[in-house]
Chain A
Amino acid sequence: MAKNELTNGMERNVLIGLLVLGVVGSVAGLMSSDRFWFSFLQNSIFVLTIALGAVLFVAFKSVSNAGWATVFRRVPEAMMAYVPIGGLLLLLVYFGRNTLYPWTNPAMETHGAGLELGFKHLWLSTPFFFARMVAFLAIWCGLIYGIRKASFQQDTDGSVEHTRLRKIYSSIFIVVFGITFSLASFDWIMSLEPMFYSTIFGFYMIAGTLTSSAAAITILVVWLKQRGYLPAVGDKHMHYLGQLVMGFATFWAYMWISQYLLIYYANLPEETIYYYRRTGTTGWFTVFIVNLFLNWVIPFMMLLPRQVKMNAKWMVAACTIALVGHWLDLYSMIFPAFFGSPMVGYVDIALLVGSIALFLLVFFRSLGAKGLVPRNDPYLEESVEHEHLEIVHSLKAGTATD
């Protein structure tokens, strides 16, 4: 049952059309392109991390008793709804494991000459790998279900108990996610080059996740606001979101340089090969530099002035750059190990467009199914600015709909 029709028929048809395009492109790519599985992995993780970052956003907010984001909290909550679907999609990697992961090749076990995996074989075995993948996704989905359910139940009965419950789920999520997501990024991305290892890799991924999901939340909130929804979202919220995007982008840069520096200092062959592949050729070196600019330099410089953070157009521009940056970041983690030069083919475009369309379809369906504002949340008044209090009061009294 849809409470709000957030998209009109045409927009929905466009999204469905793009999804179909993505599916057609994938099928064609599966038959003819050697890039398909890499692109599939990249784009699945790209959209999945945006959805997972939304859970972190809500969890941080809940654990720190932050009130400011309550008025648009349903946006990240609707983004979370993609995690089960994106997780199921990611499980399809099972069928591409032989293309993607060199360690699935039994020859690698016996080969000497620098291809010794050693004890990593215990960890990187096909059944264990996919058992972990299922377990991680199942744990995340379970906690997401708890967080969302408590939020929606509060709409009907108004009990403060749900806020407490969400806090408990959120605390568990943050701890569990920190560990499982690190392991997941080791598994899903780092093991593409099984000889390479970097212990900060998981944190580096979390930094990218946080930036891109804060950027996505900003873009979706601006879109909804311009459609006339979420009337109580004001300058304050845009300012804080801008600070978050800027802060997380800087955190990403910090992680980026930390990983780079240690490998640069130590100069161990099995580690430097990772950066050698990414800086050794002109093509990949360009991607390497552009990646740094898109993820940090440009968003950071753009978002420094306060006025920019309160300007919807500039914010959307900066956030789009950060999102493109996250996509390119994943691209430069996955592709250089297997391809001599960067290239974007129809498969990449189809998969990107298809995954985003699927994400948006799930997002709008989930967002429209419940109230756009958590009207009984005890933090709601605190989250809006003085001039918007009336809107909140009429929402609470039931004289206005979202």
Chain B
Amino acid sequence: MRATEPSEKTVRYTAAFFDNEHDLMAIAAEARLRGFEIQDVFSPYPIHGMDRAVGLERSRLGWIAFAAGALGLISAILLQVWTSAYDWPLNVGGKPFNSFPLFVPVMFELTVLFSGLISIGVLFMMNRLWIFSKKKIFEGVTDDHFVLVLKQRDASFDAEKAARLFKKYRAIKVMEGDKFV
């Protein structure tokens, strides 16, 4: 979910697998308290409150959705005013060429369409799930596994402390690796 800087591409990581969301939520909160750096968490479905447990800052996607909606609204107005009043005026039912009430449905539809499509596209780019993504997917995270990935960025990473924490929250599997992304 978080944008990662290029330098993190070779960071070593420790991934712990859990079999339910409560353990994942609890360990994410505790790991953060104990000073571990969380790379990311994976789950088969969105979990309420997970963003808070991981310490994510508020997503900027809302602003993008708003801007996209505004763009859609403006496009709809320009398109309709231009086509029906300037480029090719047609007399429909004796209404004025520039009859604002008639434009409203299309204004609404294009606002929703732009906002929806652009924000879903940007969402997939932001969380790097778009089609050209080479993101590593852990086995089972799209099924029934819940994974917490800790960064081992510097020497302060305490492997023993991490192992104790994993045990406390009943991790079913722990693995390490390089090149997270």
Interface residues of A (CB under 8 A from B): 254, 257, 260-261, 264-265, 267, 304, 306, 386
List, in ascending order, chain B residues with CB within 8 A of A386's CB. 49
- Do A260 and B62 have beta carbons less than 8 Å apart? no
Tell yes or no: B93 within 8 A of A by CB: yes
Give the contacting residue for B102; candidates A254, A261, A267, A306; CB below 8 A: A261
Q: Does B101 contact A (CB under 8 A)?
A: yes
CB-defined A-B contacts under 8 Å, sample of 7: A257-B105, A261-B102, A264-B99, A265-B102, A267-B94, A304-B66, A386-B49
Least CB distance, B108 to chain A, in whole angstroms: 8
Minimum Cβ distance to chain B for residue A86 (Å): 35
Among candidates B49, B62, B99, residue contacting A306 with C-beta atoms closer than 8 Å? B62
Query: Is A260 a contact of B101 with CB atoms below 8 Å?
Result: yes
Asked if B104 is at the interface (CB within 8 A of a chain A CB), the reply is yes
Let me know if B62 and A261 touch, CB within 8 A: no
Please report the C-alpha to C-alpha distance between residue A306 and residue B58 in the assembled complex, in whole angstroms. Answer: 11
The reply to whether B101 and A267 contact each other, CB–CB distance below 8 Å, is no
**In contact, A261 and B93 (Cβ under 8 angstroms):** no
Sorted from nearest, which 9 A-B pairs have the closest CB atoms?
A264-B101, A257-B104, A261-B101, A260-B101, A265-B93, A261-B104, A267-B93, A261-B105, A306-B62
Q: Which residue of B lies closest to A305 (CB)?
A: B62
A267 to B102, alpha carbons, bound, how many Å?
13
B residues near A (Cβ < 8 Å) are: 49, 58, 62, 66, 93-95, 99, 101-102, 104-105, 108
The residues of A that contact B94 with a CB separation of less than 8 Å are: 267
Provide the residues of chain B in CB contact with A265, threshold 8 Å: 93, 102
A267 to B104, CA, bound (A): 17
The closest CB in chain A to the CB of B48 belongs to A236
Least Cβ distance of B100 to chain A in Å?
Answer: 10
Q: Cα distance A260–B104 when bound, in Å?
A: 11
Which one of B49, B93, B101 contacts A257 once the chains associate, using CB atoms below 8 Å?
B101
Distance, CA A256 to CA B58, complexed state (A): 35
Tell me, in angstroms, the Cα distance from A257 to B107 when the chains sit together. Answer: 12
Closest residue of B by beta carbon distance from A261: B101
Q: How far is the CB of A264 from chain B (nearest CB, A)?
A: 5
Chain A residue contacts of B49, Cβ below 8 A: 386
Besides A257-B104, A264-B102, 16 more A-B contacts (Cβ < 8 Å) are A254-B108, A257-B101, A257-B105, A260-B101, A261-B102, A261-B104, A261-B105, A264-B99, A264-B101, A265-B102, A267-B93, A267-B94, A304-B66, A306-B58, A306-B62, A386-B49
Complex contacts, B101 vs chain A, CB 8 Å = 257, 260-261, 264
User: Smallest distance from the beta carbon of B167 to chain A beta carbons, Å?
Assistant: 24
A254 to B102, CA, bound (A): 13
Residues on B with beta carbons closer than 8 Å to the beta carbon of A304: 66
How close is A25's CB to chain B, nearest CB, in angstroms? 39
Say how far B91's CB is from chain A's closest CB, in angstroms: 14
**Which B residues are in CB contact (< 8 Å) with A306?**
58, 62
